[in-house]
Structure formats: C-alpha cells, structure tokens
Amino acid sequence: MRTFKPEAIQTPRGHFIGGRLVPQADALTVHRPSDGRAHAGLPAADAATVDAAVQDAHAAWRRSDWARRAPRERARVLRRWADLVEADVAQLAPLEAVCSTRPLREAIAWDVPFTAEGLRFFAEYCDKLGGEVAATRQDHLGLVVTEPYGVVGAITPWNFPLVMASWKVGAALAAGNAVVLKPSELTPYSVMRLAELAVEAGVPPGIFNIVHGDGATTGEAITRHPLISKMTFTGSTGTGAAIMASCALHGPKPATLELGGKSPQLVFNDAPDLDKLASIIAGAITGNAGQVCVAGSRLIVQRGIADELAERITERFKAHRPGATWDDTATLSPIISVRQAQRIHEIVQAAREAGAQLRCGGGLYEDGPGGAFYRPTLLESVDATNPAVVQEIFGPVLTLQTFNDEEEGLALAAHERYGLAAGVHTADIGRALRAMRGIAAGTVWINRYGRTSDFVIPTGGFHQSGIGKDLGRQAVEANLRHKSVLIDFGAA
Ligand code: NAD
C-alpha cells in the first residue's frame, strides 16, 4: 500500500531566493486538511523580503545569460528539469499530498508526471516562437522581434499546487523570463522542491525565486513591485480583480488571470452510454472533492433521461469513501479547510431554502477521519437564480436542471458571470457543434470532460473566468513582448 506517516514529512522552512533556502521565522501555520492538524510553520514575506526576492531575480536575469542563451540550450535545461521532477516522485508526491487535498495515489500517477510533462511541453517552445518580417516599403526591412519581459510575478492557488505552479513558471522560463512565485499559503511546500530541482537542472540561481505569505501582504507586494513587469495569476475571480487593479495602479502592467468557474454539463436524450456518462459527470464534480476550477458543477439534462441519469450519478456519489490523502483506499478528498466546508454548507442550505430539492448528500460525513469531508451532493429542481447555480461552490455539489429542447438547454448553460469550461454530451454531431458555438466558455469538451496531456490546447476563461491562457502556444506568447524594428537600407 502506498502511504506515508504525515508527521514524518519534513517540510522546507523559508523562502527560496538566489538558488537556496533563505530561512525566516515562522509567521503562519500550515494545516493538514486530511486530519485538521497543524503540520508546520511558514514565514510570511513582507514588502522588504519581496523586494529582496524581486531584486535578486532581476539581477540574476541580467547577470546570467538565461534570456540570451541559445533557445535550444534553455530547452535542454527545462527538459532536464522535467526529468528530475519525474525521477523525484518519491519525495515530491508526499510533499504535495501532506498539506493539500491531493491524494498520494493521484499525486504519484498524475500531479508529478503531469508537472514534468508540462515543463517538457514548454521546453519545446523555446526555439519555436520567433518574430515576424513585416510588409514594409521595399527599401526598408521591418521586423517584429520577441523579447521576454524580465521578471514575471506568479501567484497560485491551493487546489493543484505543483501543476498550477509549473504552468506559470514553465511558460515564463521558456520565454526567457525570471519568475518570483508566491504559492498559496495553504499548500506551500512542494514547489520548494520544484525550485531546488530547477537549480539542479541548470536554471541559474535567482531565475526562479519563491516567497511565502498571504495575499494581502506578500501577494500585493509582488503585484505592486516596479521590477515585476508582468503578472500571472490563478485563483478566485475576486482576487483576480484585486490583482488587476493593483497592476493598473502600479504599472500599468499586463496580467494573465485564470479565475473561477461554474461549468455546465449539457446532456441531450441521445447521449451515448448512460453508465459511462454518469461516471464522467460524477467524476467531474467529485474529483479533488469538486475543488477544481473546471469542475462540472451544473448538470443540465434533457427531460427524457434526467431521472435515470440522476439515479446513476447518485449511486456513484453514495459509493464514495472519504479519507486522508495518505489513505490508499479513500476515494474522496478532504475539503481544504473547515472554513471552506462551512461555506459549502451555507450555500447548500441557502439553495434548499430557495427551493432546491436534496437528492443525496447535503452535509459533512459525521464519522470522517478528522478533517472536513463533504458528502457528494445532488440538488435538483433548481432554477437559474438559485444560489447553488449562481455561486462557485468549490466543493462536491452538483445542481440539476432539466430542459425540453436545444434552445432551452443552451439558455440554461449560459452563466451570467462565468465562462471557464463546458461539457456537451450527444450522439448528434450537428447538435454538439451548435452547442460548442453557442456556449460562451474558454473550453468545450464534447462527449468527454476534463483535459488530457494535449497541452497544446490552451486553457482559460471567458467573462469573469479570466483573461488570457495557460498552456498552449498562447501561454508562452503571453510571456513575450514585441519590439518593432524598421531598417532603412535605401541609401547606397
Ligand atoms: P484565492 O483567490 O483565494 O487565492 C489564490 C492566491 O492568491 C493565493 O496564493 C492567495 O494567497 C493569493 N491572494 C489572495 N489575495 C491576494 C491579493 N489581494 N493580492 C495578491 N494575491 C492574493 O483562490 P484559492 O482559494 O487559492 O483557489 C480557489 C480559486 O481558484 C477558485 O475560484 C478556482 O476556480 C480558482 N482556480 C482557477 C483555475 C483556472 O485555471 N481558471 C485553476 C485553479 C483554481
């Protein structure tokens, strides 16, 4: 059985600046969501510490030849980093699992290899994105040259600590930038190992620095720092708005924002293989206990199969076994904190008061293993204004709405705030493509749900779900700025 003793996991204490651990006294406590216990302390960088990290990154960026290095050499370093990450799974996976909601089993099979493969993907772009030769008058040569920004500030959430960080850092480094990262203060440890491995692989010290702390002090100090030329952020829509405002005030500087979602699963009567579909839909809201930005949280199903599908989803919900991330037999992750579990429950209660019927779930497991484990919940008879439909819950709560025809289904799929992802399930290719065109979302999955390792397909939101893309060519391009050059060679 793959497991570990949580108390035995040693966590790095300090920031990572200039290629090494920089100890600082603890100011925060990091808890284990699996059993609710305090695990270890964490320093909190104030503006002076953030300044030291950014100055160090900027100096390293200028001093080292990271940006000017032959692109294939940069690619080689990033590929080596990916190899080291993959080989380090025995250390990285428990570090990831101990204070997060990521089960060890999944960290081994998915988070760590997915992180490594993402870094490889970005490495491949190092020498693939050039500039342009512009159409100019014949005695001139016009060039559009791409250059890195310098130091990119990255701020990431707690739900997939390694993967989210690797998408930000991989893209920025491949484009020749330096990065100062602030991981979530709830899940700060695994990225420290990631940074150590970067240096081991040959990323020059200082090119990837990490500072710890909360959003209000440390995060804000990063966004406002004059040497941070671009921000990249993943987290909630409210925080994204605050970061954009800070970037506007203290720059202006560009920001890539990957934000919240309330993604629909639109199911038509002719959807193939109801059993498989029930597993896809249940999995898309119970994976990581629904704490996934693209969680398929709104089931919108045509009347003919609504009851049968709901029944099969309910069976799967009830079969879950909650358990610690280090318990190999558990199938359901903890909620990140007691506070977040309370918030989930408050929205479920408000939804019921507003008329939603509870088909299953609706509360915490009473005999959970210590942390807060919320029962997979199905709420039906909800309308478009129900709080469980309107708000991002970020927990294992699925709402069910029914429709008669395509037009009504598409109208329900639209959300007034969010447009991150959507699932469409039908055997009719014409209907699937009409729905794809009709739904305003950054990603539409047809007859499947969730991403694969086809990293070339970017991810990002419409509306209040974000601005810009992670992954894909677009993610690397967002880390480059364009310089225009015009050469007059007319005079002999
Ligand atoms: P959050 O917004 O609370 O925090 C995210 C990060 O921002 C943390 O590191 C936090 O310390 C920092 N932060 C908070 N306030 C800040 C401020 N004023 N200035 C600078 N930094 C600040 O989000 P969370 O609870 O960690 O994550 C859950 C949210 O993330 C959900 O809304 C989820 O949908 C979203 N998310 C989106 C994607 C995506 O790709 N679109 C992926 C994962 C998570």
Helix (H, G, I), strand (E, B) or coil at 416: coil
Strand partners, 28: 42
Helix (H, G, I), strand (E, B) or coil at 153: strand
480-488/397-403 β-pairing: unpaired
In the predicted structure, residue 347 carries a pLDDT above the cut 90? yes
Query: Sorting pLDDT into bands at 50, 70 and 90, what band is 289?
Result: very high
In the predicted structure, residue 200 carries a pLDDT above the cut 70? yes
Q: How far apart are CA 63 and CA 78, in angstroms?
A: 19
**Do residues 197 and 237 share a domain?**
yes
CATH number at residue 366: 3.40.309.10
**Do residues 476 and 441 share a domain?**
no
User: Does some domain include residue 459?
Assistant: no
**Do residues 303 and 249 share a domain?**
no
- 86 is annotated as an active-site residue: no
Cis check: omega of the bond before 264, within 30 degrees of 0? no
Q: What is the mean pLDDT of residues 404-428?
A: 98
Q: What is the mean pLDDT of residues 113-131?
A: 96
What pLDDT shows up at residue 40? 98
Query: Sorting pLDDT into bands at 50, 70 and 90, what band is 367?
Result: confident
**Do residues 223 and 329 share a domain?**
no
Q: State the average pLDDT for the chain.
A: 97
> What whole-number percentage of the chain has pLDDT above 90?
97
- Of 42, 155, 457, best ligand 1 pocket probe by most atoms within 8 Å of the beta carbon: 155
In the predicted structure, residue 96 carries a pLDDT above the cut 70? yes
What pLDDT shows up at residue 249? 98
Atom 38 in ligand 1: residue holding the nearest Cα? 293
Q: Which atom of ligand 1 is nearest to the CA of 242?
A: 18
Q: How far apart are CA 78 and CA 127, in angstroms?
A: 12
User: Does some domain include residue 490?
Assistant: no
Q: What is the mean pLDDT of residues 316-345?
A: 97
Q: What is the mean pLDDT of residues 463-487?
A: 98
Q: How far apart are CA 336 and CA 390, in angstroms?
A: 22
Q: What is the mean pLDDT of residues 335-349?
A: 98
**Do residues 104 and 197 share a domain?**
yes
> How many residues make up the chain in this entry?
492
Catalytic residue among 96, 196, 293, 392: 293
User: Does some domain include residue 143?
Assistant: yes
Cα of 156 to ligand 1 centre, how many Å? Answer: 6
User: Does some domain include residue 271?
Assistant: yes
Tokens encoding 114: 């997915």
**Do residues 441 and 317 share a domain?**
yes
**Do residues 253 and 354 share a domain?**
no
**Do residues 210 and 268 share a domain?**
no
Q: Which atom of ligand 1 is nearest to the CA of 184?
A: 9
Q: How far is CA 141 from CA 138, 145, 489, 492, in A?
A: 7, 12, 8, 15
Q: What is the mean pLDDT of residues 399-410?
A: 98
Q: What is the mean pLDDT of residues 4-13?
A: 95
Cα of 445 to ligand 1 centre, how many Å? Answer: 24
**Do residues 157 and 31 share a domain?**
yes
State how many domains the chain has: 2
What pLDDT shows up at residue 412? 98
What pLDDT shows up at residue 370? 86
What pLDDT shows up at residue 58? 98
Query: Sorting pLDDT into bands at 50, 70 and 90, what band is 417?
Result: very high
For the whole model, what pTM was predicted? Answer: 0.98
Tell me which residue has tokens 């302390």.
Answer: 41
**Do residues 223 and 330 share a domain?**
no
Query: Sorting pLDDT into bands at 50, 70 and 90, what band is 313?
Result: very high
In the predicted structure, residue 1 carries a pLDDT above the cut 60? no
What pLDDT shows up at residue 276? 98
The response to whether residue 154 sits with its C-beta less than 6 Å from ligand 1 reads no
Q: How far apart are CA 279 and CA 264, in angstroms?
A: 16
Atom 14 in ligand 1: residue holding the nearest Cα? 215
The response to whether residue 468 sits with its C-beta less than 6 Å from ligand 1 reads no
Phi and psi at residue 391, in whole multiples of 5°? -95, 145
The response to whether residue 242 sits with its C-beta less than 6 Å from ligand 1 reads yes
In the predicted structure, residue 159 carries a pLDDT above the cut 90? yes
User: Does some domain include residue 220?
Assistant: yes
**Do residues 103 and 174 share a domain?**
yes
What pLDDT shows up at residue 475? 98
User: Does some domain include residue 347?
Assistant: yes
The response to whether residue 215 sits with its C-beta less than 6 Å from ligand 1 reads yes
User: Does some domain include residue 67?
Assistant: yes
What pLDDT shows up at residue 492? 77
* DSSP conformation class of 169: H
Q: What is the mean pLDDT of residues 71-75?
A: 97
Q: What is the mean pLDDT of residues 19-40?
A: 97
- 258 is annotated as an active-site residue: yes
**Do residues 90 and 220 share a domain?**
yes
In the predicted structure, residue 408 carries a pLDDT above the cut 80? yes
What pLDDT shows up at residue 491? 82
User: Does some domain include residue 492?
Assistant: no
CATH number at residue 155: 3.40.605.10
The pLDDT tens digits for 225-282 are 999 999 999 999 999 999 999 999 999 999 999 999 999 999 999 999 999 999 999 9
Dihedral angle sign, alpha carbons of residues 480, 483, 484, 489: negative
What pLDDT shows up at residue 27? 97
Cα of 95 to ligand 1 centre, how many Å? Answer: 20
What residues have CB less than 8 Å from 475, skipping those under 6 apart? 122, 167, 171, 256, 458, 469
Q: How far is CA 272 from CA 406, 410, 412, 424, 440, in A?
A: 17, 19, 21, 11, 24
In the predicted structure, residue 389 carries a pLDDT above the cut 80? yes
CB atoms within 10 A of CB 130: 10
Range of the domain at 143: 6-259+466-483
